[in-house]
Amino acid sequence: MTTRVPAIVLGGTGYVAGELLRLIAAHPYLDLAAVASDSQPDEPVAQFFRHLQPVLPHLRFAGHDEVLEYVAANPVTAVFSAAPHGVSAGLVDKLLSAAEQAGTKPRVVDISADFRYSSAQAYEAVYKHAHGAPARIADFTCAVPEHLNALHTTHVAHPGCFATAVLLASVPLLSLGLAEPRLFVSGITGSTGSGRQPTTGTHHPQRHSDLYAYNALTHRHTPEITALARAAADVEAEFNFVPHSGPLARGIHVTVQAAAPEPVTSHELTAALREYYDQSVFVRVGGEPPRVKDVVASNFAQLAGVAHGRSVAVMCAIDNLTKGAAGGAVQWMNRMLGYEETAGLMLPAPGWT
C-alpha cells in the first residue's frame, strides 16, 4: 500500500504530540489532516511548537467534534492519541463510535497508558481510577514493535518510554534463557518524559546538573513491563526497577542486570543479542556501551551487553519522545497500513544535541 492516508493527532499540545507532528510532516504517505485540542481551538499549532512553523505554518488546532466529523467522512484515517492517561480512552471511544456509525475504518495507535493492560481491573489497580472505555480494551494490542510479528487486533497501544527501553534489553535475555527471571533495572530519563507542565521534579532549576532516583521499586511502569515481558518472552519474571531523573531534556538510558543460569562471556552475550534483533532495523547492538546522544531525536535503539561469569548486564539507550512514544507509534501505524515499517523514520540522530 502506497496511497496517502490522512492522519489525526489527539491531545495535540503536549511534547509527544509535537514529536508526532514533526514525524508526520515528513512522512511519505501520511498527510496531517487535523490536530485536536479542546483547550486551544483554532489557535495556531506553531504557537505551541515554534520549531514546526516552517513545515506547519498555517495549521490550527481543531476541536474534538470537528475531528469526529472528519473521521466519519473518510474511509481510512491514521489516528494517534497523545492525550493524557485517563483522558485518551474516552476520546478514542467517541471517535471509534462515530466511525462505526458512519461505516469508516480508522486505525488507532494510543500512546497513553489507557489500553496497555489486558483488563480494566489491571489498569485500575495501577492508575487508581476507572477505565474510560473498558469495552474497547480487547480491540488493542500492546507490545514493542520488535517483539510482535503478527498483529491480531485493529488498534495498538504503544508501551511507555521506560517500558520500551527495559523490554528491548530484557526480552532477549528471558527468551533465550540467558538470565534467571529476576532482573534489576536502573534507568535514567530526560525531563520531557514528565510532560509539558512543570512540576517540582521536572522544573529546569531543580533538575539541572542533578541526578536522583524516584519511585524506587514502585514505579507504575513496572507492572506494565512485567506483563509485556511475559507476553513477549513467555516467562514470568520479576523486575526490580529504580528510575532516575537526569539533567537532560530527551533520552532514556537503562541498565538491566541479572544472573545467568551458567557462565557466559561478553562475546557470547553480544552475539546472542545481535542474532535476536537481526531483522529489527531500528535496534542496533554494538560492542561499546550505548550513548543517549547517538539516538536522541531518532527512532533507533542502541544496545550493548557485557558478562562476567554468571553476571550479565544489557544497556539500552533510546529517545523517550521518538522510539519510546511518537516514533514507535508511527512504526506501528506503518505496519497497520501496509507501508514499509521504516517509512518516515530512517533519519539518524543529529548527534551534537
C-beta of residue 81 within 8 angstroms of C-beta of residue 11: yes
Asked whether residue 184 falls in the same domain as residue 312, the answer is yes
Same domain, 215 and 277: yes
167, 137: one domain? no
Identify the domain boundary among 142, 169, 202.
Answer: 142
Q: What is the pLDDT of residue 208?
A: 85
Give the residue from 83, 105, 87 showing the smallest Cα distance to 96.
105
The cell numbers describing 251, all together, are 533520552
Are the beta carbons of 299 and 232 closer than 8 angstroms?
no
Instruction: Identify whether residues 185 and 279 lie together within a single domain.
Output: yes
Kindly give the confidence (pLDDT) of every residue in the chain, 353 residues in length, as a single tens digit, with 9 standing for 90 and above. Answer: 578 999 999 998 999 999 999 999 999 999 999 999 988 889 999 999 999 999 999 999 999 999 999 999 999 999 999 999 999 999 999 999 999 999 999 999 999 999 999 999 999 999 999 999 999 999 999 999 999 999 999 999 999 999 999 999 999 999 999 999 999 999 999 988 877 666 776 777 788 899 999 999 999 999 999 999 999 999 999 999 999 999 999 999 999 999 999 999 999 999 999 999 999 999 999 999 999 999 999 999 999 999 999 999 999 999 999 999 999 999 999 999 999 999 999 999 999 87
Q: Is residue 330 part of a domain?
A: no
pTM over 0.85: yes
Does a structural domain hold residue 329?
A: no
Burial 68-97 (b: 16+ CB within 10 A, else e): bebbbebeebbbbbbbebbebbbbbbbbbe
Residue 122 counted as domain residue: yes
Residue indicated by cell numbers 507504575: 220
Cell numbers given for 217: 521499586
Query: Residues 133, 55: one domain?
Result: yes
245 inside domain = yes
**Among 69, 153, 79, 149, CA closest to 110:** 79
Q: Which residues contact 307 (CB under 8 A, 6 or more apart)?
A: 260, 263, 264, 265, 266, 268, 269, 313
* SS3 category, 189: strand
Residue 325 in any domain: the answer is no
Position 336 in a domain: no
Q: Residues 178, 307: one domain?
A: yes
Write the CATH number for 307. Answer: 3.30.360.10
d(CA 291, CA 303): 9
Check: CB of residue 27 under 8 Å from CB of residue 21: no
Task: Give me the active site residues, please.
Answer: 161
Among 99, 89, 45, 40, CA closest to 67: 99
Residues 255 and 301 in one domain: yes
Domain count, the chain: 2
What CATH code is carried by the domain that includes residue 26?
A: 3.40.50.720
Q: Do both 204 and 290 map to the same domain?
A: yes
Cell numbers that stand for 249 in this block: 531534556
- Among residues 27, 132, 347, which one has the least CA distance to residue 124? 132
- For residues 191 and 308, membership in a common domain is answered with yes
**96 domain residue, yes or no:** yes
Residues 135, 266 share a domain: no
Domain that holds residue 228: 161-319
pLDDT at 1: 56
Q: Of 15, 53, 58, 289, whose CA–CA distance to 161 is shortest?
A: 15
Q: How far apart are CA 155 and CA 115, in angstroms?
A: 10
pLDDT at residue 79 in the model: 98
121 and 209 co-located in one domain = no
Answer yes or no: do 213 and 76 share one domain: no
Q: What is the rounded distance in angstroms from the CA atom of residue 11 to the CA atom of residue 64?
A: 9
Instruction: Answer whether residue 229 is part of any domain.
Output: yes
> Residue 288's CB: how many other CB atoms inside 10 A?
9
| Cell numbers found for residue 313 | 548486564
